[in-house]
Structure 1
Amino acid sequence: MSYVLDFLLILILNMSVIFQSCFDRTFDTKHYITCIVCLAAAKGAYLVCRNHKFLQDKKLYIYGAIGVVLLIVLIFTSAENMWIEIGSFTLQPSEFVKPLFVLACATSIADQQKKHKILFFNVVYENLAIFGIMAAICLVQVKSHDYGSLPTFIGIYGIGFILRICYPKAKFSKKKLFAVIAIIVVCLLIGLKYAPEYVQHRLHVDIWSDKTGDGYQQSQALIAIANGGWFGVGPGKGFLSNIFAYDNDIVFATVSEEWGLLYALMMVLTIIIITSVPLINPARSYYHGTMSACVCAAFIVQMALNIFGSCNLIPFTGVTIPFISSGGSSLLVSGLMTGMLMAGQSPVFKEHKDNNKKKQEKPEPAWRWQE
């Protein structure tokens, strides 16, 4: 089972290359090279994240790296342009906050037992630090008008928070849990009420009465999905390839039109399997379990935002589907996070050194699980 993710990653990247190449009817060399970089990134993240003790010792550096990336977002990007151009390549620095934030949210049982009393509450300093980082991310995303990525970060933090307060044998009051949930709901309602005007308009827009305005992409995406049916109109024969962001923000609709809803659902199912395998296999440690759950939350939230936005079930957010959408930053980060999933569910065995081999007629190696 340790190698299932490797095969699934190669499978989904091959699907991605086929889809992206057929959209323009020419082999997408740039996307193919990016997929190879994605595979290399997965291997690198796997090697770095295997030892949870090493990552625990580097928590302060992870916090610092998040701060540096957020500063880069504030200084070098704007609401009109979230990308940094480097020659013919573009990078979206906010994407690289995701794997770092996952590592920050991952926790071990030992850390959660280090409680300190502040006024009348027993708190864990690390939990307060994570809350502060989440607040900083929200402020930077709001200032940059990048509201589409906020649900992904909220999903990562939510899963990390739940696993922090629900570690084995934890004593956590249900009243406190309900109070936290109530506070989150109130914050969401306040955020929706006082959201910028263009966000309010997007929440209430009727795409069919505004087909040339804010409802243009969603209305065209729905028409394309209906036009494709179960088996599609054929690779490269769809009209959606003439619409802006057809290969990333509304890629689900583009695949559905040209390849059919059946192939689009197969694509979605493959990504769901990638996220479910690490949750089925026993994690190497509680840290790895939290890390894997946070990565899975990020993938599922991103995919749901893209699909539901394309189908007009939620406001259009402009979020990519992991592995499938074009974009170097998105693919690279998806590879890094897949490597983290691999590291979280891969066992390591060590052979005992037997000093009494001469006394044994048939020595057999003994294996043990390395915590």
Structure 2
Amino acid sequence: MYANPIAFGLSSFFVLLAHIAMLFNVYINGNYKNVRDVVILGAAVLLVDIAYFAVILFFRQTTYALDFLLILILNMSFIFQSCFGEVGFNVKHLITCIACIASCKAGFILCRNHKLLQSRKKLIYGLAVGVLFVTLIVTLVKKDMWIYIGKFTLQPSEFIKPLFVLACATSIEDQQKKHKVLFVNVVYENITLIILTAAICLVQVKSHDYGSLPTFLSIFSVGFLLRICYPKAKFSKKKLFAVIGVIIVFVLIGLKYAPDYVQHRLHVDIWSDKTGDGYQQSKALIAIANGGWLGLGPGNGFLSNIFAYDNDIVFATISEEWGLLFALMAVLAIIIITAIPLVNPARSYYHGTISACVCAAFIVQMALNIFGSCNLIPFTGVTIPFLSSGGSSLMVSGFMVGMLMATQSPSFREPGHPKQEPSVPAWRWQE
């Protein structure tokens, strides 16, 4: 394995120290009836930390930076979710966090070999269409976006995201397979991707899930940009600006002809409609102001009585109880997760496009939640990756972090050949 014992030990110590500091804050400032609640919560957090440190040693990786950031933010989320309103033990969120970790490792294993992924492109498109079809059926039959399994819910549209990222991923070699259609050289796969994107947008509109549209469009925009602007590509700047112009026109048309309730959210004054569409945002802003920089203390906020306090407006809930400073630190941890794969070049162009698409999805989704809660943009109701509750969101976010890990520690084994470790420098781009 590639783990540096000193770096591994220091990183583990830092994560443990961060979580112990949070638990100490819960003990000092938290709202709990019995100190046993804090002890049980602390034992669960530290046990998951130590178990994860042991498990990741069984995975052969070039770097473990994303692993430490993932367990840092997941157990932060578990502590947050267990303290909203009153200090307790959120078993459901702990289970989804563990599922997120398992999903992460699945994403890492499945996405390491870019050659294998490229050879299974038809299967990826087929799975994406299949999940899209399930989403449409659930919407038409149940008039809802969720599948209920006991106390847990699954949102099929969430599982389209990693498949869509893989569909958007490409290599330089793939983009050179051009065909002349009506005197224009085109790549058939690019046309297929545009059709898939249009189908996803139509299903999301039919499901009335307009909040997820910017996330899917950000994945497509970044992926398509890297398709047409790969190194040494002979692509006209005029065509690039034309594509951007077309996207802007479609966005403006969508805003103009959006349903009435969407139009109302675009123009609502939350302070004059505090019991209607401005209810959650006005309460969220009041909670952030009440929390100040250091917060009211874990479990001491009133926002836990507001609908969707633990997902759609979770940033405001954290700000109220833990302080704006701590909420921004949690957001910074997610930003660092997206920054590391972009700072460290991937070893293949295919992996590079995966990194860019995943990071775009995380940043856009996080921005929609935070800016919507703070009334800087219309309220969309999307979740913050890792911080919000929700099984589907956490599992998919974990899988996508696994995809980022795969771009940092790729496998270059050809399908059907014995595994060989890469011997090229990390900074070189391979196809």
Q: Structure 1 stretch 256-265 or stretch 339-348: which is displaced more?
A: 339-348
The structural deviation recorded for 1:347 is 5.3
Q: Secondary structure at the match of 2:423?
A: strand
1:210 lines up with 2:265 in the alignment = no
* Partner of residue 362, structure 1: none
2:108 alignment partner, one of 33, 37, 46: 46
Gaps of 5+ in 1: 351-365
2:333 alignment partner, one of 253, 256, 270: 270
Q: Secondary structure at the match of 2:318?
A: helix
In the alignment, is the contact (CA less than 8 A) between 2:144 and 2:207 conserved in 1?
Answer: no
The structural deviation recorded for 1:131 is 0.3
Give, as a single letter, the amino acid of the residue that structure 2 aligns with 1:236.
Answer: G
Percent identity among equivalent residues?
A: 76
Gaps of 5+ in 2: 1-61, 414-420
Query: When the two structures are superposed, what TM-score results if normalisation uses the length of structure 2?
Result: 0.81
Give, as a single letter, the amino acid of the residue that structure 1 aligns with 2:307.
Answer: F
The structural deviation recorded for 1:284 is 1.8
1:59 alignment partner, one of 111, 114, 121: 121
Distance (Å, rounded) in 1 between the aligned partners of 2:270 and 2:412? 57
In the alignment, is the contact (CA less than 8 A) between 1:105 and 1:130 conserved in 2?
Answer: yes
In the alignment, is the contact (CA less than 8 A) between 1:16 and 1:325 conserved in 2?
Answer: yes
Alignment of 1:194-205 (within 5 A): 194-205=257-268
Q: Secondary structure at the match of 1:369?
A: coil
Alignment of 1:166-177 (within 5 A): 166-177=229-240
1:258 lines up with 2:321 in the alignment = yes
Alignment of 1:242-321 (within 5 A): 242-321=305-384
Distance (Å, rounded) in 2 between the aligned partners of 1:143 and 1:309? 22
Cα deviations across residues 87-116 of structure 1 (Å, max 9, x unaligned)?
222100000000000000000010000000
Distance (Å, rounded) in 2 between the aligned partners of 1:49 and 1:8? 20
Q: Secondary structure at the match of 2:307?
A: coil
Distance (Å, rounded) in 2 between the aligned partners of 1:73 and 1:367? 40
2:139 alignment partner, one of 60, 68, 77: 77
> Aligned-residue CA RMSD in angstroms?
1.5
Distance (Å, rounded) in 1 between the aligned partners of 2:411 and 2:224? 28
* Partner of residue 14, structure 1: 75
In the alignment, is the contact (CA less than 8 A) between 2:74 and 2:386 conserved in 1?
Answer: yes
* Partner of residue 157, structure 1: 220
In the alignment, is the contact (CA less than 8 A) between 2:96 and 2:391 conserved in 1?
Answer: yes
* Partner of residue 95, structure 2: 33
The structural deviation recorded for 1:367 is 7.4
1:368 lines up with 2:423 in the alignment = yes
Aligned residues: 356
Cα deviations across residues 249-308 of structure 1 (Å, max 9, x unaligned)?
000000000000000000010000000001111202000000010000000000000000
In the alignment, is the contact (CA less than 8 A) between 1:50 and 1:343 conserved in 2?
Answer: yes
Distance (Å, rounded) in 1 between the aligned partners of 2:76 and 2:225? 34
